[in-house]
Amino acid sequence: MISIENISFSYGEKRVLENLSLEIGKGSRICFFGESGCGKTTLLRLILGLEKPQSGTIKKDGALRSSAVFQENRLLPFKTVLQNITLIGADEGAALDRLRALGIEAAADSFPSDLSGGMQRRAAIARALCAEYDYLVLDEPFTGLDGANASAAARHISESLKERALILVTHSRAEAEMLGAQIIDITEKPHI
């Protein structure tokens, strides 16, 4: 579904990705692992098309639709939680169902700034799951969530994925396991 071939990326003098290759198949669940600054988030940005590789190629089968939970929540501050979700094309009923499943239905009409960090995170997860997507990108998705809420959210994400691909970045092996993702250490080579 997504083929990454020999991509490299540097920030000035600092090379964060070097000749990285890997295949992400339909329905696969993978987790990029590695120490801070090794290029995990950069790799996600490359896959999402927010950056262009300085060398190598990323090929996608057709026009794949993406969805994401970014490292920051990126909820629009002037829209309510519900409006943030319906903005991406989800219908209101589906959005409320997601919020209910994540335990924040009561926050639907609140603005993000009126919510705790954990509630904002769950709102960002709800938005990502309400999108129509072929692959879901999660960058440290459970930041700010306590153990019970993180497990519940992981379960809900896992059930929602069905046959769609998951690309995860996390520092926690437990989180990767909760989502059933195969861990790939991007500092090791080769990755095929």
> Residue 121, SS3?
helix
Q: Counting contacts by CB under 8 A, is residue 74 touching other proteins?
A: yes
Q: Counting contacts by CB under 8 A, is residue 70 touching other proteins?
A: yes
Q: Which amino acid is at 83?
A: Q
Q: Counting contacts by CB under 8 A, is residue 174 touching other proteins?
A: no
Task: Please choose, from the candidates 64, 74, 66, the residue with its C-alpha nearest in 3D space to the C-alpha of residue 44.
Answer: 66
Task: Please choose, from the candidates 94, 99, 97, the residue with its C-alpha nearest in 3D space to the C-alpha of residue 75.
Answer: 99
Instruction: Estimate the crossing angle of helix 92-101 against helix 117-130, to 10 degrees.
Output: 130
- Residue with smaller CB distance to other proteins, 67 or 120: 67
Q: Counting contacts by CB under 8 A, is residue 72 touching other proteins?
A: yes
- Degrees (nearest 5) of the Cα angle 169, 18, 47? 45
DSSP letter (8 states) at residue 147: H
Candidates 66, 120, 149, 170; binder of other proteins (CB under 8 A) is 66
List beta partners, residue 185. 33
Q: Counting contacts by CB under 8 A, is residue 52 touching other proteins?
A: no
CB of residue 158 vs other proteins: minimum separation in angstroms?
21
Q: Exposed (0-12), middle (13-18) or buried (19+): which is 57, by Cβ within 10 Å?
A: exposed
Residues 122-141 binding other proteins (CB under 8 A) are 131, 137
Whose tokens are 């709800």? That residue is: 126
Candidates 38, 48, 96, 183; binder of other proteins (CB under 8 A) is 48
CB of residue 89 vs other proteins: minimum separation in angstroms?
8
- Residue with smaller CB distance to other proteins, 36 or 113: 113
Question: Which tokens belong to 183?
Answer: 């861990």
Candidates 62, 113, 147, 190; binder of other proteins (CB under 8 A) is 113
Q: How many residues line the site for other proteins (CB under 8 A)?
A: 21
Give the residues lining the site for other proteins (CB under 8 A).
48-50, 65-68, 70, 72, 74, 76-79, 87-89, 111, 113, 131, 137
